[in-house]
Structure formats: C-alpha cells, structure tokens
Structure 1
C-alpha cells in the first residue's frame, strides 16, 4: 500500500518549514514554562530545550545541504533518513517526559503551558513520522536509480 504523499524534495521542504515553525513555537513555550515560578526546576523541564535545539540543528543541516548548491556535496539521503528517525524518537520522548513533568507542576499556568507543549510534541512526532517516510522513500529511490526523484524526472523530460 502506497502512502498518498509524494516523496519529493518539494514536499519535504514544505514539511521542513512547518516543523521549523512548530519547533520555534515549542522552544518559546518551553522557555516560558521554565521561567514560570510554579514549575519545579527538574531535568524534565529542561529536556525540551535540548530537544528543540537538536531538532533545529538537524533541520538546518537538512535545509542547507538540500537547497544550497554550495553545500550539496555534504548532503546525504542516508543521513537525512537517520536524522529524521532519531528526531521522531526524541519528540516522542519529550511527549512522555513532559507529561510526567506537568503532573508535578504547582501553578495552573505551568500546567497549561505543559499541556500545550505536550500537544506540540505529539504533533511534531507525527510530522516527523511523515518526514521519515518521505526520507525513506527518497533514499530507496536514490539507491535504486542513483539520483534523487526530481533529478530523474528532469533527465527523463529533457531527453524527450
């Protein structure tokens, strides 16, 4: 059964932009939650900062090596696949850890921010699953044909 999303770099770029904006929003909300006086200072509350920064670095690598011609030589479909799978696992871990950290909050505002971060972590986990699927399909196409899906389509249309 094929997933209805086409495995192209254009769809991956759109997904990267959506994920990037949600990561920035999550980062801001986690900082606000940590700054809240009703939030206990535990590792579960600062884990989200590390996950957001890691995700931002992964996205920066993927965007730069995928769309800047100067850096394309460092790009790899295998690395993109691995990074998105790792990112999915970390967002799910943040989802679980934030649930545990929110239950020990003392203020209503801290719990509300925790609930929003929980929802965003779950949404980002789902979006990373879709992005992982796209990266796996791109990697499979690259291994079979030796070119990215768009490059193969451009070569076929140019030879007609």
Structure 2
C-alpha cells in the first residue's frame, strides 16, 4: 500500500472532509454565539473560514468524484489534482 494508492488516498480525503466540516461547524457556532452590534456585519476574520472551507470542500469533492465515479472519470487528471493541491494554499 503506497502513499498514492486509491484506498489510502480515499481515507485521506475522508479525514480531510471531516476536518473541513469540523472547521466550518466551529465557525458557524462562533458566528451565531458572538454578540454583535445590531446593524453591523461580522468582521472578515470571523467569516473567512467559511469561504476557505467551501473552497477546500469543492476541491476535495472534485478529486473524489473524478477518481471514484465512472461518470466523471474522463475528467480525472493527476496533473490537475497536483495543480489544485498546490494552488489551494495560495487561494
């Protein structure tokens, strides 16, 4: 079982999804429980995790769908996955 084996990568993606969903839920709870002044929108620091988490979920779902679903297999590309994983930190 190598580091790029399909079964191993599937487990890694599942752990990543769990961590992203945990971060999104903690951010949602933080937004709902903090006291805010009426008429003032939450600060960017409080809402940034929502955008970053959504981006990460979209990238992971794309990688899972193209590697494990027969319908989307034609768009599977290791080069595209590498580029997305490298640029994810930049975005």
TM-score, length of structure 2 as denominator length: 0.83
**Unmatched segments (≥5 aa) in structure 2:** none
Corresponding pairs, count: 86
Q: CA RMSD in A?
A: 2.0
**Unmatched segments (≥5 aa) in structure 1:** 94-160
Aligned residue number for residue 81 of structure 2 = 80
* 1:134-153 matches, cutoff 5 A: none
TM-superposed deviation, 1:43: 0.6
Match of 1:14 among 11, 14, 17: 11
Higher helix fraction (1 or 2): 1
Which of the two has higher C-alpha Rg?
A: 1
Moved over 4 A (4+): none
- The superposition leaves residues 9-53 of structure 1 with CA deviations (integer Å, 9 ceiling, x where unpaired) of 221111000000111111100111111224782111111000110
Q: Which has the higher contact order (CA 8 A, sep 6+)?
A: 1
